[in-house]
Structure 1
């Protein structure tokens, strides 16, 4: 059995060429922080016009017994692969994994859950 784990990988672009920066700026609307989602292929969000930072969001299927740290590393490797494939330098990568099933419900979530039971 498996479960969907949310992995967030953060970092900063490093040593972008003027052409790379221009390419990122031209695609910025497709990578808006306001429309992010966790997807199997990963969602890349950035605002290079304001700062060099980026975030990848992955929804990774993990075995029930897979440690969250292992899943976070898998997400980080996916981000590195994408960055390397596209020729972008990067630094300060960090990755964190969260199992949504283990996140406590807030007040709104508790009310919704109570109504459904």
Structure 2
């Protein structure tokens, strides 16, 4: 087993062919899935708005560094698909963006003296 890296993955998608029951369930919980709830977690955090057009899920994925960002994105998208299907929500056009937290460069402003 190689070195483990921690990735932050945002999976974005579009709601598609939502049933009346699915739409009602999402709208009933919309306040719990707004901008204030955006955080990266291993199980994923779902965010969307009342328009029910687009959504995003934020994941923390830990995997072998040699597998790279592409694998972290694929793992997160798979988790997203599973979660959305289990809840009965229609979706399409999943895409992910990945940040490797172990190689991310932090630019600090020089202190003023």
TM-score in terms of structure 2 length: 0.86
Correspondence for 1:35? 37
Report the count of equivalent residues.
109
Q: CA RMSD in A?
A: 1.7
* Contact 1:69/1:96, CA 8 A, preserved across alignment: no
- The 5-angstrom pairing of residues 5-20 of structure 1 reads 5-20=7-22
User: Which runs of 5 or more residues in structure 1 are unaligned?
Assistant: none
Q: Distance in 2 between matches of 1:87 and 1:15?
A: 11
Contact 1:5 1:71 in 2 (8 A): yes
Instruction: Give the alignment of 1:25-64 within 5 angstroms.
Output: 25-47=27-49, 49-64=50-65
Tell me what 1:65 maps to: 66
Structure 1 or 2: more helix by fraction = 1
Q: Tell me the CA shift for residue 103 of structure 1.
A: 3.0
* 1:25 match: secondary structure: helix
Which residues of structure 2 form unaligned runs of 5+?
none
- 1-side partners of 2:16 and 2:98: how far apart? 24
Q: Distance in 1 between matches of 2:30 and 2:5?
A: 31
Secondary structure in 2 matching 1:77: helix
Change beyond 3 A, Cα 1:10–1:100: same
